Structure 1
């Protein structure tokens, strides 16, 4: 970070003011999300610096990727001192200036929480990156007292010294944890357990699913790989809930890897089940799926889940299978209608009986009420399946 000669800067600004060369105009100190901008505004005002929040998008103010925190030009030296000395503010301001990428990139995003299932996701991600020369992005999202205090339970944010000290401790710990993870990965690369691919470590502060979605929107990775615990855990873990939320809301393909998955790379996958509900979007999703993974060798079973027997299900599924066989002549394709009064149990039985390695399905864009009151099968399977789940976005 740049170091300033504060005395010289103060004297220069005072002289300019006295000589009439500098108007007390507003300047932009930072562009942040609204929540963080509100925190910074309160911090500055507690120090006697008047601050204003202005929307970046003046044409459509409701639709904004960020807001400007603006202050008087004469207050700039003091404001810079405050942001430079604050552990959270310096991290946050630097972290939110990443420009959004407009097209899908050869990047693989892996959110990590330093757990065993995070390492399983890393194994998949690094091996996949080796196959097509992609870059791996390891993202960790952490909470701080400043962030949780700013959530909208009141109009006023109280900036406390003990919160600042707690934040410094948290940031120091997550940096240390990320360094430990990086060192572990480097050791695995050195011992040939992982391939030597380009990777970066990124820290973000906030709510995990929100920051993962925001970062994915900025970077446009080709896939997000997330670790989960699987169905045998007694508690519904945080990372599973985060993964389910990312699957629901992300516009990027998501690969969820349970901790006890017996293989470490997609090249070991031999059988994939592709779930279809006879929606036209499933045909498009299958094309997206095949183009992304055609470098690997596997067979596909087209699966339709139903609670009631209907001869048209078999006819429609056979028709789709015939269509795909013509479109992808080198691909081995099977089809089965799975009938059960409990769809998840019926699917589990089919997976076990047929030794399915990966389940693939399409996640349709749904509004928040549909997600809350009628969770999609992808979300349900995060907590009830030990099989990797590949979710293609429509």
Structure 2
């Protein structure tokens, strides 16, 4: 990973995500890109009011400069991006493409990353992008040097080489191995293992079949019972992960611990 983008709106959850993003950048020896997107004030053309765009931009840019200098950047290279726009997801994805971003780190306000996915937000739109790995971090999560990385595998081909490499790199830095799991209504571990080892070296993961009639329940149970710290998923059409993103399931999260979600492009 050479370029890491971190989004901030100067809130407490964004500041928390910034600190973690910088820690990851140090671990990966990556360049930091700090992004703030602000909405332009609505101006009534019928009223004689003057809108000072440059003055407004300068204020935001100054806040962004102060934010980057409060972070433990050290000798890492960094760049700040202050953008005006209506759609935060669109602006963020534009920067990702322009700067060849390898990982986008974003904080969120839900009690868990999955909860926010179900109720809809800017975070949801970004997590469902098809191009960039995204790490969504809840405010309550405490980052650690070593963590358990769970990978929800849907027993389908992993054709995106960049996504596979991102998963392997992240796991090599923070987890002893990739804790892959598949949710099914019967134990099909041998079949799933045969598929998965075509894409990830067998010595880098262990595989579990979580037997459950309900995929959502299976994911929640595995992550909770196995004390996982990060959940990695690949959202794609017509898979159990796709159904996970489009089913209202917020009531379950009262019993679910808040952990980061790492989404990888299909």
Q: TM-score, normalised by structure 1?
A: 0.55
Residue 216 of structure 1 and its aligned partner are, at CA, apart by 0.9
Equivalent in the alignment of 1:52: none
Aligned length: 254
2:249 pairs with 1:249: no
Q: RCO higher in 1 or 2 (8 Å CA, sep ≥ 6)? A: 2
Moved over 6 A (4+): 379-383
1:227-270 Cα deviation digits (max 9, x unpaired)? 1123369x969xx7112111222401111111111215xx322x
2:212 pairs with 1:336: no
Residue 159 of structure 1 and its aligned partner are, at CA, apart by 8.1
Residue 210 of structure 1 and its aligned partner are, at CA, apart by 1.0
**Closer/same/farther in 2, CA of residues 322 and 328 from structure 1, 3 Å limit:** closer
SS at match of 2:208: strand
Equivalent in the alignment of 1:377: 244
In 2: Cα distance, 1:171 partner to 1:283 partner: 38
Residue 273 of structure 1 and its aligned partner are, at CA, apart by 1.2
Q: Which runs of 5+ in 2 are unaligned?
A: none
Residue 115 of structure 1 and its aligned partner are, at CA, apart by 1.3
Question: How do 1:211-226 residues align onto structure 2 when only pairs under 5 Å count?
Answer: 211-226=91-106
In 2: Cα distance, 1:159 partner to 1:250 partner: 42
Q: Which runs of 5+ in 1 are unaligned?
A: 1-104, 150-156
2:186 pairs with 1:319: no
Question: How do 1:181-200 residues align onto structure 2 when only pairs under 5 Å count?
Answer: 181-185=67-71, 189=72, 195-200=74-79
Q: 2:176 aligns with which of 298, 302, 309?
A: 298
Residue 393 of structure 1 and its aligned partner are, at CA, apart by 1.0
User: 1:141, 1:205 within 8 Å by CA — same for their partners in 2?
Assistant: yes
User: 1:282, 1:362 within 8 Å by CA — same for their partners in 2?
Assistant: no
1:138-159 Cα deviation digits (max 9, x unpaired)? 000001135xx6xxxxxxx948
